[in-house]
Amino acid sequence: MSKQTVRDIDVAGKKVLVRVDFNVPLKDGEVADDNRINAALPTINYLLEQNAKIILLSHLGKVDHKDPQKTESDKAKNNMEPVAGKLQEKVDAKVHFSPVTRGQELDDAVAALKDGEILVVQNTRYEAGESKNDPELAKYWASLADVYVSDAFGSVHRAHASTVGVADYLDSASGFLVQKEIDALSTALDNPERPFVAILGGAKVSDKIGLIEHLLDIADKVIIGGGMAYTFYKAQGHEVGTSLLEADKVEIAKEIMEKGKDKLVLPVDTVVAKEFNETSDSKTVKASEIPADYMGLDIGPETIKLFRKELEGAKTVVWNGPMGVFEMDKFANGTLEVAKAIVELPNANTIIGGGDSAAAAIKLGFKDDFTHISTGGGASMEFLEGKELPGVAAIKERK
């Protein structure tokens, strides 16, 4: 990676503005899942070792700025104070919290920071200008610090004031999380050890058209599963019953199949049920024989065998999207078996591109078995599509 990292710049005793991804779930006023906080700790702890004064910016949830009543409700629901409290449990340093995102109270909190202390600033989305990359807001936040560090990989695909704008006014570098993500994904895409197999699942073809087409150009095989497989079935002329279908994307699916030819691998059977729940009667049918009153909810056993065969000998695997409705145990088997097949590959570079596939791997017990599990669903998907990520592009090049 040619971008500056936090090790390339002098941060000792300086005020360092760090964009982290603390967009964590809250339940009853407490952090329900602290994985994203843990992911930021290497950068935070390094800065503490350097006696930096650390100012942390993050968004949390969404804030509707169009309706004043909704705005206040969203702010109350997405208050960062519990996140600051959770961070205090994890670091050997004093953690302060600013309940405001700008103004004298924040200025004073920054001025009072001692070396080796942390200030967590209120949710960046309290500011309407955040998502618009408002230059005045970005300039103000930048004025609080001497250096900017980008370490929120889950947000670098968004050109916001806290991810892109502040870098216009400060010396900038990537944190260890962003560096790790870019290095891992770049290795898989730019210089993969072959055979290189991509596995794509999830609900909609429309979400992954660019991703499928880009990976067809660079991978040796592209395996399709999940809800979007039914649009491909329709493109093959099969009936799909009440399965998830994007009728307006059938022609695009035909074009993708024509482009992919033998490189594109589709499921050959599917687990179907009459209703979208755990108790509904289910059965396995061929891909071409889905009954009119049934919906497909997982890949079947013959497909699992086929996908295992296609994965044999693979040295690089990128996986984005589950094979079925993994949240329901009854329809999680396809995702489970694909995960097993990937992690059993000897000496392979195995990468999960964030989002639901990462959630599935963690839920199914494979958290430590992949080479890399991305922390950013949308960011990793855009990177895998070959798109430039604005929050990475904004970081200064290494000299």
Which are the catalytic amino acids?
A: 36, 204, 355, 378
AA letter at 27: K
What is the CB neighbour count within 10 angstroms for residue 293? 10
Residue identified by tokens 């990177």 is: 383
Residue 69 half-sphere exposure toward CB, CA atoms < 13 A: 0
Angle, vertex CA 372, rays to CA 153 and CA 194, nearest 5: 120
Three-state DSSP at 273 gives strand
121 contacts 56 by C-beta, under 8 angstroms: yes
107 contacts 100 by C-beta, under 8 angstroms: no
Q: What sections of 165-235 are H helices per DSSP?
A: 176-190, 209-218, 229-235
What is the CB neighbour count within 10 angstroms for residue 250? 16
Instruction: Kindly report each contact of residues 275-279 with a partner whose C-beta sits within 8 Å and lies 24 or more positions away, as own/partner.
Output: 276/325, 277/328, 278/328, 278/329, 278/330
Q: Is 127 exposed, middle or buried (0-12, 13-18, 19+ CB in 10 A)?
A: buried
Token pair listed for 365? 């017990």
Which residues are paired to 352 by β-bridges? Answer: 319, 373
| Rounded-to-integer distance, Cα 234 and Cα 320, Å | 22
Which residues are paired to 318 by β-bridges? Answer: 198, 351
Q: Residue 194: which residues within 8 A CB-CB, separation 6 or more? A: 220, 315, 316
What is the CB neighbour count within 10 angstroms for residue 192? 21
